[in-house]
Chains A and B, each alone.
Chain A
Amino acid sequence: MPTIVVEVMPKAELLDPQGKAVAGALTRLGNTDITGVRVGKRFELTTAGPVDDATLEQVRGVAVDLLSNSVIEDVVGVSVVDGPTVSTESAPTETVAP
């Protein structure tokens, strides 16, 4: 069954204390060429049946209503990938703007 991937990031203009902490650790470990880190979230949604436009519309809705908070975060991607989980080999088959 296909998997729908929803990606959420903290708003670019707002603070990301988590990313700042990770960036600090990377610098301490000697990765001086890495200048910034921002930490977001990736949701993998599985469906009982095939994914059609209506399903994607529904997912875009819950991405905004529950999976993210538009005051502090942006939905940066909603995409469909094949298989129950996502491996590094399977590229997204569709990417749509939220």
Chain B
Amino acid sequence: MRIGVITFPGSLDDRDALRAVRLADAEPVALWHGSHDLEGVDALVLPGGFSYGDYLRAGAIAAHAPIMSEVIDAAAKGMPVLGICNGFQMLTEAHLLPGGLIRNDVGTFVRRDQALHVEQTNTAWTNGFTAGQEIVIPLKNGEGGFIASDDELDRIEGEGRVVFRYLGVNPNGSLRDIAGVSNERGNVVGLMPHPEHATELGFGPDTRDAMRSGTDGLTFFTSAIQALQAV
């Protein structure tokens, strides 16, 4: 199973995403934004960072990168695609996911270990969770406020496309506490928090058992492998 991670100018978390893919027992493949070649990967991750310095709008310029035409085609054919943070912003800008991301309502960059409620386990990236499961993974962003019109919010809620909601604290003013959403088919998922930073003992969020022992993020990647094996 080969999972590609696309590096854009200003990507920061591409290396961590590649490592997370390896920890999940898939083969990580580094892909480049300027290419038109997905190198035969089975799934794709658009990583976090600050592509193009967040100029224009976060993710807006990267959403028009050369490789994005292949990403859009692959997503339409059902390939699992995960957008993390800046990658989520790119997927909304590319119209693969609904809504948009704006500056945090608190006006500052927020970094914290964030509790999330898993609302949907029928997506390519969440089938390994149990419905209603509470997970904790790191969050770190300045423009993580998820917004859409009331009609659009009602629509995606009705279609079961709200995949994650913030639990406890809403860190950025996201409407209806939405932390992550999917496309209609469930193969494309985007969220602001960072699963790739919670995949390895010693490097994840604190848990009741031990410091930095949280590995809830690993399930995202094992879910994608499971989804691909089920096809």
Contacts and interface: CB of A to CB of B under 8 A. Distances in A.
A and B from one complex: yes
Interface of A: 10, 13-18, 20-21, 66-67, 69, 71-72
A12 to B, nearest CB: 12
A31 to B, nearest CB: 19
Nearest to B102: A72
A13 B175 CA distance: 13
A17 B147 contact: no
A17 B104 contact: yes
B102 A15 contact: yes
17 contacts: A14-B102, A15-B147, A16-B102, A17-B104, A17-B105, A17-B107, A17-B145, A17-B173, A18-B103, A20-B107, A69-B92, A69-B100, A71-B99, A72-B57, A72-B100, A72-B102, A72-B147
Contacts of B173: 15, 17
Tell me the dominant secondary structure on chain B's binding face: loop
Given A10-B102, A17-B107, A69 B149 contact: no
Contacts of A21: 107
Contacts of B104: 17
Interface of B: 56-57, 60, 64, 92-93, 98-100, 102-105, 107, 145, 147-149, 152, 173
B107 A69 contact: no
Nearest to B95: A71
B100 A71 contact: yes
A17 B103 contact: yes
Nearest to B99: A71
Contacts of A20: 105, 107
Contacts of B103: 17-18
Highest count of chain B CB atoms <10 Å: which of A14, A15, A21, A71: A71
Nearest to B149: A13
B64 A15 contact: no
Given A15-B105, A17-B105, A72-B57, 14 more contacts: A14-B102, A14-B149, A17-B103, A17-B104, A17-B173, A20-B105, A20-B107, A21-B107, A66-B56, A66-B64, A71-B92, A71-B147, A71-B148, A72-B147
Nearest to B61: A66
Contact of A67 (B56, B92, B147, B148): B56
